A and B are shown apart, each in its own frame.
Chain A
């Protein structure tokens, strides 16, 4: 994202600078959130695959990864654990999506303000 001011005579006030700074912070947070959302979705997919495999398997004891080792855990306990993990992951994903929407809305507001004052002198788009 470029933030240049063009060759016009518009003065940049401290308030403008703060708005530009805030836009920069929001844009960074937006990209971080996109990455985090990608990871969260992958985690949920993996848990889905795991629970599907569980249904298919006929073993009574499943090797479940705890920390760095694979503990022998009875199937029912594994099912419960996976359900809990899925719950946590989808709550997390929901929170991330909400934060992303709020960030996007704030960025749109700031764009209106900054383009309103600086028009062509400022570029707030992704490069």
Chain B
């Protein structure tokens, strides 16, 4: 088994882990369980406890990232709807007719509005702030927000993928440490029962 361990550790010279990504610690890949346990100086139960705790931490971070992802995924269609409205208003500008729209005054109550030809719209920027922009400025601001949201979402998705990989590595390591321990116990058991047999005979 020592020869196999040596062979497996020499075959892959590529970097085995990224140490961390944006605050998420990377999971160390274990080439050989015995070497890992002697390097860290932990016994099996401590190693398993440490790995389980790591797994819990990963799960917490995963939930946080998933919540952020849901928020972003809701924000993007909203921005697209705003762009649609501004585009419609701009299209109406040329024709000279007013846009008549039914809007929600309160839940379940709608009223009719007559939107005259004008060059500006007001955009809600958050934090109780609303600014007036020309249609073109509004379109470019909304487009920029949309780009930022989509870029943030991509980064978030990459973070989640990295995190899930670390979770998988940790789960596999836990299984291997546990199995190694079971294997060791079995070996010890067969050796003690054979020495018992020898002493009886």
Contacts and interface: CB of A to CB of B under 8 A. Distances in A.
A68 interface: yes
Interface in A10-50: 11-15, 17, 20-21, 24-25, 28
Given A7-B183, A13-B11, A69-B85, A28 B164 contact: yes
Given A24-B164, A28-B164, A71-B88, A5 B179 contact: yes
A9 B5 CA distance: 11
A12 B102 contact: no
A7 B175 CA distance: 9
A4 interface: yes
Given A6-B179, A7-B182, A24-B164, A13 B12 contact: yes
Nearest to B161: A25
Contacts of B175: 3-5
Contact of B4 (A5, A6, A11, A24): A11
B195 to A, nearest CB: 23
Nearest to A72: B100
Nearest to B169: A17
B193 to A, nearest CB: 19
Q: Interface size class for chain A?
A: 20 to 34
Contacts of B29: 14, 17
Nearest to B91: A77
A63 interface: yes
Given A7-B179, A67-B85, A71-B101, A25 B11 contact: no
Interface string A109-126: 000000000000000000
B165 A72 contact: no
B113 A69 contact: yes
Contacts of A4: 171, 175
B16 A14 contact: yes
Interface in B103-118: 103-104, 110, 113
B172 A14 contact: no
14 contacts: A3-B171, A4-B171, A5-B176, A14-B12, A14-B29, A17-B168, A24-B164, A66-B101, A67-B81, A67-B84, A70-B101, A70-B103, A71-B100, A72-B99
Interface of A: 3-9, 11-15, 17, 20-21, 24-25, 28, 63, 66-72
The 7 tightest CB contacts between A and B, nearest first, are A67-B85, A72-B100, A70-B102, A69-B103, A67-B81, A69-B101, A71-B101
